[in-house]
Every structure is written in structure tokens, then in C-alpha cells.
Chains A and B, each alone.
Chain A
Amino acid sequence: AQSVAQPEDQVNVAEGNPLTVKCTYSVSGNPYLFWYVQYPNRGLQFLLKYITGDNLVKGSYGFEAEFNKSQTSFHLKKPSALVSDSALYFCAVGGGSSNTGKLIFGQGTTLQVKP
């Protein structure tokens, strides 16, 4: 069965510092991995995805994520955090035995960037 875990409920970082939001997954077969962001009282917005190829994926708003097959991880990163990056971040996994584009979401990590 597919699963995804976000081990941190909240990540706190100072503005200008690098940030990392962690995600690990479990899927049989090739995984397809996504990051979404949710701002307060809004729907989820797509940030980036890994399908195949280069392990470092670049996405919207300066975010990037690194796919690590041996560690079954897909951590979200940004070199310099902004206060406006404060939001709820979701990792999701698809693929494996699924053939309908269904995604399994992690429980979410709240990112708090302080001035």
C-alpha cells in the first residue's frame, strides 16, 4: 500500500535562512511525488513534482525538492525563506499500483517563517 509521511508538524525558520520540509514515502514500483502549498482559507496550490529524470526538481516561488530513492525521501527546500512562505505544505505520492492518478497525501507541515 502507498503511504507518505511528513515527520514534522511544524517547522520554524528565520527569514533569509534556508528551509527544509521533510517527506518520506512508501510505494511499490515507481513513485510520482508532489508538493502542494495551502495558504489560510485557500485551496491547495501545486508547487512541483517528480516523475522521472533529474533528482533535483525546481518549482514555483523558488522552491526545489530532491528525490532520494535509497532513502525514499522527497524533501522540499528553499535557499532563503520569506515571511510570505508561511503556510501549510503537503507532500503527496502517486504511481505504484494506481492507474487513475490518485494521490495519497501526508498530514501536512506548517511552515512558520519569522522576520
Chain B
Amino acid sequence: NAGVTQTPKFRVLKTGQSMTLLCAQDMNHEYMYWYRQDPGMGLRLIHYSVGEGTTAKGEVPDGYNVSRLKKQNFLLGLESAAPSQTSVYFCASSPGVSITDTQYFGPGTRLTVL
């Protein structure tokens, strides 16, 4: 099993450009999450999904959109990138059986917006 994978690993954008980050998991997990990690701020939840076709806002959703068309994939979109969105983005998944489930993380995507 590959676990949780993220594409791409690195990306540089210019202000105003758009892009989509792809997260894929092969563990048949129901729940998936997108976080951003910034120095001194830990991980902050952007959006999450509790099942195929469902999404919900997290702590810092502004400027991002998500879609969960297939159970194994969770896409994070930036429609018009801003320098404030320079960050490391992590995707995670959990089984969705219990609220105490462990979350499993991908390797991250380092995004720079110029």
C-alpha cells in the first residue's frame, strides 16, 4: 500500500494563477483532510470530507475549494493564488469508523506564491 500520496511535491506560482493539489489514498478511508503548515502555527485545517461527494469547511477555508468526487481522491484548488498561500500543504485520511481514529498523513506539497 502506498498510503497517502500527494501530487505535486513542489510548485511555484505567480500571484493570480490557479492550481489543483491532488491527494490520493489507497486505504479505503472515509474521511480526508487538507491542512496547511506554517512556521510557529502548527497545522491548520482548511477543508475536510467525511465521505465521497461531501466536503466541509475547516479553520482556514478562505481562498480554497475542494472536491471529493471519488472516495480515494481529495482535491484542493486555489482559484487565484496569493502570496499568503505560500505554505506546506498536507493531506490526511482516517478510516471514519470512530472520532478517535488516527489520521494518516501524506508527504506534503511545498507551494510558493510569488
Give the B-binding residues of A (Cβ under 8 A): 9, 32, 34, 36, 41-46, 49, 51, 90, 94-95, 98-103, 105-108
Size of interface on B: residues with Cβ below 8 Å to A: 29
Q: Closest residue of chain B to A52, judged by CB?
A: B100
Given contacts A42-B107, A95-B99, A95-B100, contact A102 B42 (CB under 8 A): no
**Chain B residues engaging chain A, CB cutoff 8 angstroms:** 4, 31, 33, 35, 40-45, 48, 50, 56, 58, 90, 92, 94, 96, 98-108
Assuming A43-B107, A43-B108, is B101 touching A101 (CB within 8 A)? Answer: yes
**Would you call B102 and A46 a contact (CB within 8 A)?**
yes
Cα-based distance from A107 to B44 in the complex (angstroms): 10
Q: Are B31 and A100 in contact (CB under 8 A)?
A: yes
A9-B56 Cα distance, complex, nearest whole Å: 31
| A5 CA / B24 CA spacing, docked (Å) | 31
Which A residue's beta carbon lies closest to that of B90? A43
Q: Taking the nearest CB of chain B, how far is it from the CB of A30, in angstroms? A: 10
From residue A88, how far is it (CB to closest CB) to chain B in Å? 10
* Chain A residues near B107 (CB-CB < 8 A): 42-43
B45 in contact with A102 (CB, 8 Å): yes
CB pair B90 A100 closer than 8 Å: no
The residue that B106 contacts in the complex, of A32, A43, A98, with Cβ under 8 A, is: A43
Whether the Cβ atoms of B42 and A107 lie closer than 8 Å is: yes
- Which of chain B's residues have a CB closer than 8 A to the CB of A41? 108
10 contacts between A and B (CB under 8 A): A9-B40, A44-B43, A44-B90, A100-B99, A101-B96, A101-B101, A101-B103, A102-B45, A102-B48, A102-B58
B104 and A94 contacting across the interface, CB-CB below 8 Å: no
